[in-house]
Amino acid sequence: MLNEGSKQKHTVLIIDDSPINIEHLAQVLKTDYNIKVANKGEPGIEVAKSQQPDLILLDIVMPDMDGYAVCRRLKADDKTRNIPIIFITTKSDTEDETRGLSLGAVDYITKPFRTPIVKARIKTHIKLKHNSDLLEKLALIDALTNLPNRRRFEQILKREWGRSRRSQSPLSIIMLDIDHFKEFNDHYGHLAGDSCLTRVAQSLTLPLKRPADSIFRYGGEEFIAVLPETDHAIAMTLAEKMRSQVARLLIPHAYTHTSHPYISISLGAATVIPSSRHSPNDLVEAADQLLYNAKNAGRNCVKGILMPSTPLGEPVSSGD
C-alpha cells in the first residue's frame, strides 16, 4: 500500500521469535509494504524507535520479553506511542485478546490466519492512522492564514521553555496586533479583512530565518512569534523587521485616524532566561503588556523588555 501523496510504500514491522512466522508474513505482505523484522522484544523496540514503522505486527509468546511487555514499552514512549500495534498470535482466549486490546493494541488476529483478512485489517489500520494524523495536524492549523494556531503555540512555548531552561539560553516572544483593524473591516468589508490578514500573516514569516523560529495566529488579528535562543537585541531587530515588512505591503487603510494611511502593526517583544522565578504565562503577559504600551504610544511601533532574572529589567523601545 502506498503512502498518501507519495510513491513510497508504508512500512510494517514484524516482531516474532519464530523465523517461519516471520517468513510467512513477510511473503504475504512484501509486495504491498516495506517489511522490517525483529525476532525479540528489545531489538523490536529499537527498530520501532529508529525506523518509525506505520504499523507493528506483534507476537505474544516470545522468550525474554513477551508481546504484552513490548506493547507496554512502546505505548510508554513518546517516539512509538502512536504506532498502531496488531497482536498476531496463537493465544485465542477472550482473556488474552482483552488483555492485548486493553494495553492499547488496535487489533488482535489469531493464528492460523487467513491472508486476505490480515491484509484488509492492516490496510484499514494504516488508513485510520493516516486520517487521525491529518485531523490532529488540521486541529493545530488556522484555516485562514495557514499558520499554526494558538493551541499549537501553547505546545511549542511549553517545549521551548523547558529547553531554554535546561540550556539557560534566552527565549524571546513577540506579540503583535493589526492597528485599527475594526475600522478596516467596517469600511472595506470582512472579505477584504480576511485577505489583509492572510497577506499580513505571510509577510510576518519573512524575517524569521532560523528553523526553530515560529509564528502563530494567536486570535483574531493577533499573532505571536516564539524565538528560541534569541537574545533581546535580536528579538527587537526581528520585531522591527516585521513592522517594516507589514508597512511595506502598503495595504491602503484610509480610516486609521493617523498620518499613515496604510495597514500597520504594533508589537511587544519580551525576552527571558527561563527559571523558577517566571512561568511561560509571565512571558506572554509581559509581551501583551508591551503590545498595549505600543498601542498607547501611537501604534505602528515596537516595545520590548528583557525580563529580569535579577531585579529590574531595562525597558527598551524602537520604531516610529
Interacting residues with Mg ion (CB under 5 A): 177-178, 181, 221
Q: Which of 221, 230, 284, 288 binds ligand GH3 (CB under 6 A)?
A: 221
Candidates 221, 229, 285, 314; catalytic one: 221
Q: Which of 220, 261, 308, 315 binds ligand GH3 (CB under 6 A)?
A: 220
Q: Output the CA angle 207-172-213, nearest 5 degrees.
A: 40
If one asks whether residue 252 binds ligand GH3 (CB under 6 A), the answer comes out as no
**Residues 95-134, interacting with ligand GH3 (CB under 6 A):** none
Nearer to Mg ion, 68 or 181 (CB): 181
Nearer to Mg ion, 70 or 263 (CB): 263
Q: How far apart are CA 252 and CA 241, in angstroms?
A: 20
Q: How far apart are CA 247 and CA 244, in angstroms?
A: 5
Active site residue 221: yes
If one asks whether residue 179 binds ligand GH3 (CB under 6 A), the answer comes out as yes
* Least distance to ligand GH3, CB of residue 272, Å: 25
The Cα-based distances of 85 to 48, 58, 255 in angstroms read 11, 7, 59
| Total residues binding ligand GH3 (CB under 6 A) | 17
* Pairing of β 85-89 and β 171-178: unpaired
Q: Which of 151, 182, 187, 210 binds ligand GH3 (CB under 6 A)?
A: 182
Which option in ligand GH3, Mg ion, none does residue 36 bind, with CB closer than 5 to 8 A by kind?
A: none
Closest by CA to 278, choosing from 302, 311, 303, is: 311
Closest by CA to 236, choosing from 178, 280, 294, 285, is: 294
- Residue 130, Cβ density class (10 Å: 0-12 exposed, 13-18 middle, ≥19 buried): middle
- x/- string (CB under 6 A) for ligand GH3, residues 138-177? ------x--------------------------------x
Q: How far apart are CA 61 and CA 147, in angstroms?
A: 47
Q: Give pairs for 144-147: CB < 8 Å, separation 24+.
A: 144/194, 144/197, 144/198, 144/217, 145/197, 145/198, 145/201, 145/202, 145/217, 146/201, 147/201, 147/205, 147/215, 147/216, 147/217, 147/223
Q: How far apart are CA 36 and CA 162, in angstroms?
A: 35
Q: Which of 55, 88, 178, 267 binds ligand GH3 (CB under 6 A)?
A: 178
Stretch that binds ligand GH3, among 1-9, 14-22, 86-94, 183-191 (CB under 6 A): 183-191
- x/- string (CB under 6 A) for ligand GH3, residues 254-293? ----------------------------------------
- x/- string (CB under 6 A) for ligand GH3, residues 25-44? --------------------
Q: Which residues are catalytic?
A: 221
